[in-house]
Chain A
Amino acid sequence: MKHKTFFWFVFPSVLAMLLFIAFPIVSVVIQSLHVAHEQVIITVQNCGPFGCTDSTKIDTDATAALRAAEPLGRWAGLTTYFDRGHLATNEVAHAWATATSLPDFLGRLINLPFYKAMFFTLTFTAIVTPLTLIFGFAIAVAVNSAAKSLRGPLIFFTLLPMIVTPLVGSLILFWMVDARGIVGTLLQWAAGDPDLSVKASTPLMWAMLMVYGVWHSAPFAFIVYYAGLQTVNKETLEAAVVDGASRWERIRYVVLPHLLPLTTFIALIQLMDNFRVFEPIVSFSAQAHATSLSWAIYNDLGGETQQLSSAAATSVLTILCIALLLTPVLVRTWRDFARK
């Protein structure tokens, strides 16, 4: 392809990526380096239906003047990144210096909002991603060996969890595991404990969030693997049969190596998706038990006073973490590419 043709070919997508991905990220980075102006507080009298009280108020005129002078707010550098709501360097150093043992230190670390969110997010990603791959592959192999006439409906039903909107899907599961829901009651019966409640226990809540995560993303892995299975070389498979390979050996030595690039692709997408786990935490009202970085951003912006700089700093940290997490997969892809 000529350079000029190539340029005009990719120009629309480059423009869209600049406008909708690159510029917003730049703006988020700038936001995260600034904090709000010092508020000018005055004491005034407030009166209403319940009488009068002396109360404080922001002097809006004085604040407007400050804003006009510095529209972005005060320059804060990296202070927001290192404050207690984010990397909490001072608090971590203090915990390290005063902790009596390693578990004590870890306990204090997880008490800090950023590390609490990271602990859940990383556990979620580490457990859900491989399970998604395994389940997706198993379903794909099963559907692929079903009778041709059954495959259409099977594929449709298998894809349903992915089609259902995440918020709705997790809400349905939330009601099912309620102490009075069908799954919740079944669990109580199975455990022989009438007081068992999934929503009241942190480990069970985590398990439920992860079950939801796998349930929601396994269809994606399935459909990609299923498409991949259609491209497996039939002659190689037949040759393997002639050589006396069992079904498991055929999968292990013929199918799996063939699907490895797809596995890398799914792992890449799933790592990114799982790291941004958000909807189930909101739908399950799970914030007492589990928080994630995306949830922290939502929480900063959802309060009566919005914390834009804090949310921006968490966003930048999320981007950095995802980049870090993807490095091994990207390095591998690059090596494969360079080898060819």
Chain B
Amino acid sequence: MKIWKTAAFATAIALLNGTTAMAACGITEGRISVVGNEFPAIQSIAKRMGDCAATGVELKSNLTADHQKINVAGMQGNPAEYTSAIIANSSIVALINEDVIRPLDDLMATYGAAIPDSQKIVIDGKVMAVAFMANAQTLAYRQDVLAQIGVEPPKTYEDLLAAAKLIRDQGIMANPVGGSYAAGWNLAQEFVNMYLGYGGAFFAPGTAEVSINNAQGVDALNMMKSLSEYMNPDFLTHDSNATQAEWEAGNVALMNMWGSRMQNLMDDQGSEPVVYENTKVAGPMTVGGGTSPATTLWWDGWTVAKNVSDADAAATFQAMAYASSPDILTPETMNQAVWLLAGYTPDAVSEGVLAAVSAGTTPYPMLPYIGLLHTALGDNLADFLQGKESAEQALADAEAAYSTAAREKGFLK
């Protein structure tokens, strides 16, 4: 009898929860299937989306670091496998190029009254995505090590090099600088940062004609090479996961790192107290006397697929709007990202990204052909950093590889 009572009570609670959840999310039917990157903030959104579960609702999420390899293919079918892709300002381009996401203006009018304009990604007058967080690579430093050499946290890359030399010369660390320099996407991203820091422009304005083989390009590569001389010799194989491991092992005192990863460095998981207690975050550095920091601003946001029924699109829109509403902010989620949501109160961990925003950092360019240049850079710059060829040759190779790919994709004649 007692067991029966407990079971009935549990069911009643579950039912009650079910009803409140339905009320909270407001969906009774539809298919919601989300693909996106895998880091704490996005996991929290996917978790909150679980509130939308109801009898007529089909709810799925696929969060993986390889999301950009599958999102275009997964949205090209009709009906699309994914009704929503969580993307950043670089990866939305591929979705727009292939025309697989729908303008959100009509859904916004019906269901999105609570979403402020600052979160809307408007392209050619149409809302194409809703951003929920900002990200940027900024400085992480070891307070204790800098105190030991008597240096303030560097504001420029030149200062960082000087500090690195002191740390090495005093025998504190052999390779005090860290960085995600893995050949491929990461290395290209570091070049993009540095090149923008020197005031470079990637393309002749309004065209797909690349121009990076210039003084700024050479300066950027030379600065990267100087930095790499203070890095673990394996730097060309270190992605941001491996760089984080180097930091947590206490081998690194200075690095340019993603804001979304800072919380991992500062928590007590994976490192000794001397490392995580002394890990501090500061704004991004400038280089070569430039005014704009040598980094890029990013947003992460969600989209709705074009090739799905209007009912599924509406359900997806409501679920995503619900999952990324300001109510997601709890003490647990507050520091997972720099949320672009009302009620977000930044902590020390987010200072870097906020400093990047207020310093007028350039956003990562949202151009249809930037992905091709990024790939070409990732494939061709490692030869210079290994001393196999000159900076000019590496840049010329990257330009040639880009132009070949851009001709094949119809961006260049």
Binding site for B on A (CB under 8 A): 35-39, 41-50, 53, 55-58, 60, 63-64, 74, 76, 80, 83-85, 91, 111, 113, 178-179, 195, 197, 199-200, 202, 284-289, 299, 301-307, 309-310
Q: How long is the Cα–Cα vector from A85 to B385 in the complex, in angstroms?
A: 22
Is B72 part of the binding interface, using a Cβ–Cβ cutoff of 8 Å? yes
A80 B408 Cβ-Cβ under 8 A: yes
Q: How long is the Cα–Cα vector from A44 to B103 in the complex, in angstroms?
A: 15
**Given the interface contacts A178-B234, A284-B237, does A48 sit within 8 Å of B386 by beta carbon?**
no
Q: Select which of A49, A111, A301 is within 8 A of B119 by beta carbon.
A: A49
List 16 contacting pairs A-B, 8 Å CB cutoff, sorted by A.
A35-B407, A36-B410, A37-B410, A39-B368, A46-B366, A48-B120, A57-B123, A57-B368, A74-B410, A85-B408, A287-B183, A289-B386, A299-B375, A301-B69, A303-B371, A305-B375
Residues from chain A with a CB closer than 8 A to the CB of B408 are 35-36, 76, 80, 83, 85, 307, 309-310
Is B254 part of the binding interface, using a Cβ–Cβ cutoff of 8 Å? no
Residues from chain B with a CB closer than 8 A to the CB of A197 are 232-234
Residues from chain B with a CB closer than 8 A to the CB of A302 are 69
B409 A305 Cβ-Cβ under 8 A: yes
Known pairs A74-B410, A306-B94; list 19 more (Cβ under 8 Å).
A38-B413, A45-B125, A49-B131, A50-B357, A55-B366, A55-B367, A58-B97, A199-B234, A285-B237, A287-B184, A288-B236, A288-B383, A288-B385, A289-B386, A299-B375, A303-B375, A305-B93, A305-B405, A307-B372
Q: Which residue of A lies closest to B365 (CB)?
A: A55
Residues from chain B with a CB closer than 8 A to the CB of A199 are 233-234, 236-237
Q: Select which of B96, B239, B374, B383 is within 8 A of A57 by beta carbon.
A: B96
Which of B20-28, B45-53, B311-319, B396-404 is found at the contact surface with chain A?
B396-404
**Given the interface contacts A74-B410, A285-B183, does A41 sit within 8 Å of B237 by beta carbon?**
no
Q: Bin chain B's interface residue count.
A: 35 or more
Q: How long is the Cα–Cα vector from A84 to B404 in the complex, in angstroms?
A: 6
Of A74, A202, A305, most buried by chain B (CB within 10 Å of CB) is A305
Residues from chain A with a CB closer than 8 A to the CB of B134 are 49-50
Which B residues between 358 and 413 are near A, CB-CB below 8 angstroms?
Answer: 363, 365-372, 374-375, 379, 382-383, 385-386, 389, 393, 397, 400-401, 403-405, 407-411, 413
**Given the interface contacts A49-B131, A49-B134, A285-B237, does A39 sit within 8 Å of B409 by beta carbon?**
yes
Distance in angstroms from B292 CB to nearest chain A CB is 12
B410 A111 Cβ-Cβ under 8 A: no
Residues from chain A with a CB closer than 8 A to the CB of B411 are 39, 41
Q: How long is the Cα–Cα vector from A74 to B235 in the complex, in angstroms?
A: 41
Interchain residue pairs A-B with the least CB separation, the first 7: A304-B371, A288-B382, A44-B124, A288-B183, A305-B371, A303-B375, A285-B237
B206 A35 Cβ-Cβ under 8 A: no
Q: How long is the Cα–Cα vector from A195 to B234 in the complex, in angstroms?
A: 10
A304 B404 Cβ-Cβ under 8 A: no
Of B232, B297, B410, most buried by chain A (CB within 10 Å of CB) is B410
